Amino acid sequence: MARSSVLRSTAWLWLLATVAVLVVGFRQAIFVAPTEATMGNLQRIFYYHVPHAILGLVFPYINLVASLGFLYWRRRDPLKALTADALAVASAEVTVLYVGICLGSGMLWGKPAWGIWWAWDPRLTTALILWLIYVSYLLLRRFSPAGQIGVLAAVLAVFAAIDVPIVYMSIRWWRTQHPAPVFGGGPDSGIDPAMMPAFLWNLAGWAMWGIFLIAFRFALERRRQIAEQDAALQAIEASLETPQ
Amino acid sequence: MKYLGHVVDHLRKDLRLEWRSRDSINGMLFFVLLIVVVFSIAFDPAGYPTTTRQISGGILWVGILFASITALNQSWTREQRNQVLEAQRMAPSPASALFLGKALANMLFVLVVEAVLAPIFVIFFNLQVLGNAWLLALILPLGTWALVVNGTFFAALGLRARNRELLLPLLLLPISLPAILMMVQATTGVLTADLDPIQIRTWITQLAGYDVIYTTVCILLFETVLNSE
Amino acid sequence: MTWKTFFDFSTMAHRHLVFVYVGVWALQGGYLAWTAWNWRRIRSPRS
């Protein structure tokens, strides 16, 4: 039990550090970073939008690795497979959260900047399809019968991960043909060095937060799995005690 | 060669079963006719001739998409009766042969429906193909296979799920979005001759690539899904 | 910017800036709260 209290302390420390970084990031973004020339204060949305967009492209790969691990361990070591499955669902949910925030903040930026809520440009469209794919992953998990959730979800995760680069390439080719307004020329296309600290603090803060959320959700899923196993064990033992 | 033999056996079985009742084909044909009529009312080809030509590729593929989903939904149900699925699992032939046979059968059904749909579509929408019409003979099968191969796989994925019929489009559509983009762009490019041949060829190549990638993935992963219980 | 100009709601741009920041905290905090609530609800199995 010493191990679990070490984990608990680490978790709390990490959370405190994350909140501290996020507070610094907020201060940098709102109060310290210079106002952008063309877009004005609206541009400060990028300090939240872009980190979420970047992280939303990283977390699906955690899901992919966990799903592949599940498929590999399914017959070889069922307990490891169960752990992999918990990581898969945790990273998928956090992906949906982050990509959803990326879409929402992108739209809220777009309306004042361009006068339209949405443009079918490569980045935003890819983000939308990514979000739809991982929502469908979560729906499959919800609709599958209990014993099969892990396998079916892991298989879909492989399809999803393969699709992401295909989506990006096809949408980009589409938009090379029919150009549309590009939402967010984005800080990665020549960011003013004075804005870098704000961007980096927020990137670090939201990355730490994302890791914390995945770890917490993972622990919750493990707790749920163990509770389920205990309940099943009790049911079996109870049926054995019943006089024949 | 034996593998191909297995695939052909599964294919013939599905075709024969379907031929006996012809439920699926008849349903799909009528459904597709109704879709064309609904789209005609919705998009008014007589009132907006240029616009409808420009979106005709999209309308055609949306119609095919709806028709295929109705066929795909019930393509695995005949394996569920009389515990046929258990027998399939125990059969010595590789699981992917079962999958390919069924996917090919579904492909044939949808192609038959398309062959009927396309002329009706041309009539109701007053379409004239402005580009190279022979390219359509390439685009239609490639696009249909993209929908059918993933659709057959996801229909098997959701076999024991509750809300099985709803689950199929929920899974199929997000994954198929890039393929839908490719097939619609290629078809519209041919119909309107707005795109030059190199661009159309790129879309067709992308679509062929999508087909190859996902056929491979489906074949590799089908055994896992069949034995998932 | 200052706190006062941050909470200035006069233009759409300013409103949307506040919506994004508040919205992000709300969504992230909401997910954390949901996870924490479930953590309480599913009793720790071993202790």
Secondary structure in 3-state letters for chain B: CHHHHHHHHHHHHHHHHHHHHCHHHHHHHHHHHHHHHHHHHHHCCCCCHHHHHHHHHHHHHHHHHHHHHHHHHCCCHHHHHHHHHHHHHHCCCCHHHHHHHHHHHHHHHHHHHHHHHHHHHHHHCCCCCCCCCHHHHHHHHHHHHHHHHHHHHHHHHCCCCCCHHHHHHHHHHHHHHHHHHHHHHHHHHHHHCCCCHHHHHHHHHHHHHHHHHHHHHHHHHHHHHHCCC
Nearest to B224 among A71, A169, A177 (CB): A71
Nearest to A152 among B157, B162, B202 (CB): B157
Contacts of A132 in chain B (CB under 8 A): 173-174, 177
Predicted confidence (pLDDT) at residue A173 exceeds the cutoff of 80: yes
Residue C5 pLDDT grade (very low, low, confident, very high; cuts 50, 70, 90): confident
Binding-site residues on chain B for chain A (CB distance < 8 A): 150, 157-158, 160-163, 167, 170-171, 173-175, 177-178, 181-182, 185, 195, 199, 202-203, 206, 210, 213-214, 217, 221, 224-225, 228-229
Whether B177 sits inside 8 A of A132 (CB atoms) is yes
Predicted confidence (pLDDT) at residue C27 exceeds the cutoff of 60: yes
Question: Maximum Cα–Cα distance for chain B, whole Å?
Answer: 59
Residue C45 pLDDT grade (very low, low, confident, very high; cuts 50, 70, 90): low
Predicted confidence (pLDDT) at residue A153 exceeds the cutoff of 50: yes
Q: Provide the residue ranges of all domains of chain A, joining segments of one domain with +.
A: 13-227
Could you say which DSSP state residue A28 is in? I
Residue B126 pLDDT grade (very low, low, confident, very high; cuts 50, 70, 90): confident
Chain C CB within 8 Å of residue A109 CB: yes
Contacts of A23 in chain C (CB under 8 A): none
Contacts of B203 in chain A (CB under 8 A): 173
Whether A226 sits inside 8 A of C45 (CB atoms) is yes
According to the model, what pLDDT value does residue A187 have?
41
Chain C CB within 8 Å of residue A220 CB: yes
Nearest to A111 among C12, C38, C42 (CB): C12
Helix axes A122-143, B164-192, angle to 10 degrees: 150
Chain C CB within 8 Å of residue A1 CB: yes
State the best of C9, C10, C12, C16 to mutate against chain A, taking most chain A CBs within 10 Å: C16
Provide mean pLDDT across the span A22-45.
84
Predicted confidence (pLDDT) at residue A114 exceeds the cutoff of 90: no
Question: B23: exposed, middle or buried (C-beta count within 10 Å: 0-12, 13-18, 19+)?
Answer: exposed
Whether A30 sits inside 8 A of C1 (CB atoms) is yes
Provide mean pLDDT across the span B166-183.
94
Provide mean pLDDT across the span B120-132.
82
Nearest to A40 among C6, C13, C42 (CB): C13
According to the model, what pLDDT value does residue B20 have?
82
Touching subunits of A (3+ CB pairs, under 8 Å) are: B, C
Q: Which comes out higher in pLDDT, residue C13 or A103?
A: A103
Whether A169 sits inside 8 A of B150 (CB atoms) is no
Residue A185 pLDDT grade (very low, low, confident, very high; cuts 50, 70, 90): low
A229: nearest CA partner in chain C: C45
Predicted confidence (pLDDT) at residue B49 exceeds the cutoff of 90: no
Task: Please tell me the pTM assigned to this model.
Answer: 0.90
B167: nearest CA partner in chain A: A140
Which of A34-43, A210-219, B219-228 has the least mean pLDDT?
A34-43
Residue-range definition of the domain harbouring residue B38: 2-226
Residue A36 pairs in a beta bridge with A40
State the best of C2, C4, C19, C20 to mutate against chain A, taking most chain A CBs within 10 Å: C20
Predicted confidence (pLDDT) at residue B92 exceeds the cutoff of 80: yes
Nearest to C24 among A31, A105, A226 (CB): A105
Cα separation, A158 vs A170, in Å, equals: 19
How much of chain B, in percent, has pLDDT values that exceed 90? 36
- Please tell me the distance in Å from A146's CA to the nearest CA on chain B: 9
Contacts of B204 in chain A (CB under 8 A): none
Whether A108 sits inside 8 A of C35 (CB atoms) is no
ipTM of the complex: 0.89
Whether A152 sits inside 8 A of B163 (CB atoms) is no
Nearest to B178 among A147, A159, A163 (CB): A163
Provide mean pLDDT across the span A38-45.
82
pLDDT in tens, B51-80: 888 888 898 899 899 889 988 888 888 888
According to the model, what pLDDT value does residue A243 have?
67
Q: Which of B142, B141, B140, B143 is nearest to B122 (CA)?
A: B140
Residue A97 pLDDT grade (very low, low, confident, very high; cuts 50, 70, 90): very high
Q: Which of C1, C45, B120 is nearest to A26 (CA)?
A: C1
B203: nearest CA partner in chain A: A170
According to the model, what pLDDT value does residue A188 have?
46
Q: Which comes out higher in pLDDT, residue A121 or B138?
A: B138
Provide mean pLDDT across the span A115-130.
86
Touching subunits of C (3+ CB pairs, under 8 Å) are: A
Average pLDDT, chain B: 88
Residue A180 pLDDT grade (very low, low, confident, very high; cuts 50, 70, 90): low
Domain count, chain B: 1
Chain C CB within 8 Å of residue A234 CB: no
According to the model, what pLDDT value does residue B177 have?
94
Predicted confidence (pLDDT) at residue A186 exceeds the cutoff of 50: no
Chain centre distance of CA A182 = 24
Predicted confidence (pLDDT) at residue B40 exceeds the cutoff of 80: yes
- Please tell me the distance in Å from C26's CA to the nearest CA on chain A: 11
Provide mean pLDDT across the span B84-111.
89
Residue A191 pLDDT grade (very low, low, confident, very high; cuts 50, 70, 90): low
